[in-house]
Amino acid sequence: MLAISEAICRYRRQQGIDGPLFLGFDTHALSVPACTTAVEVLAANGTNIMLAEHDAYTPTPAVSHAILSYNRGRSTGLADGVVVTPSHNPPDNGGFKYNPPTGDRPIAAPPAGLKPGRMS
């Protein structure tokens, strides 16, 4: 989780994404500790992190909606997001879903070690 979070920070810098990062997580047992680790790395990199009120569980579509709503009418300071979820991975695995400013999968090729969509 540390390496993936750091890679996301580097990707954001490379792409000039400097708005907030909407961070969500699901009910999987590993999601809360993974989210905590992500917050630590993102904060250490100066990322403005947006979490659901009261740290509520957040489905992927809610994060996409938040990104699109925030970015509507903007051309700078765009938001992106991450959902900590194993999604379709086996139950003993966790994973990250990265959502770029478009609210879905990245358009530009991510750096080595980062795959579009679900990352684990």
Which residues are part of the catalytic machinery?
87
Report the b/e string of 17-51 with b at 16+ CB within 10 A: bebbbbbbbbebebbeebbeebbebbeeeebeebe
First to last CA, the chain: 8
CA nearest to 26, candidates 5, 52, 8: 52
Cα gap 50→119, rounded to integer Å: 20
Tokens 């979820």 belong to residue: 85
